[in-house]
Amino acid sequence: MIGQIILMGQPQQGQNSLMSFLPLVAIVVVFYFFMIRPQMKKAKEQKKYIEALKKGDKILTIGGIYGKIVDVREDGSILMEVEDGSKMRISKNAVSNDATAINQTNS
């Protein structure tokens, strides 16, 4: 009797083993299209935006500081002027996004 229970508990070969992996494959596909792919696209756009920064652009840093680019340096840093006229040197990677649209709506 125990031998019959053990034999019944073993997975059957063939089509049933393929059907047991189908939900796992579907989950991986869903994660790719709804999470991984959009995140990669967003990172690519952010990298392109950072590379295209130039003098005069209004920016918002990751820390929430608004400013205007005074100088883009070769070492990967930016000289940024804030509202009171003081200047800050920040890394290009600290730039979050474009602040021209944000500043126009607040003014």
Q: Which domain holds residue 60?
A: 54-106
Whether residue 11 has pLDDT greater than 90: no
**Per mean pLDDT, which of 19-23, 48-52, 101-105 is the most reliable?**
48-52
CA distance 21 to 44: 32
Same domain, 38 and 58: no
Provide the domain count of the chain: 2
Tell me the per-residue pLDDT of 14-26, one tens digit each, with 9 for 90 and over. Answer: 567 778 888 899 9
Q: Which two tokens stand for residue 24?
A: 């796992």
CA angle, 54 then 57 then 62, to 5°: 100
Condensed to tens digits (0 to 9), the pLDDT of residues 84-96 reads 999 999 999 999 8
Residues 90 and 66 in one domain: yes
Same domain, 71 and 41: no
Residues 45 and 62 in one domain: no
10 band by pLDDT with thresholds 50, 70 and 90: low
Task: Identify whether the C-beta of residue 62 lies closer than 8 Å to the C-beta of residue 22.
Answer: no
DSSP conformational letter for 36: I
- Model confidence, pTM: 0.65
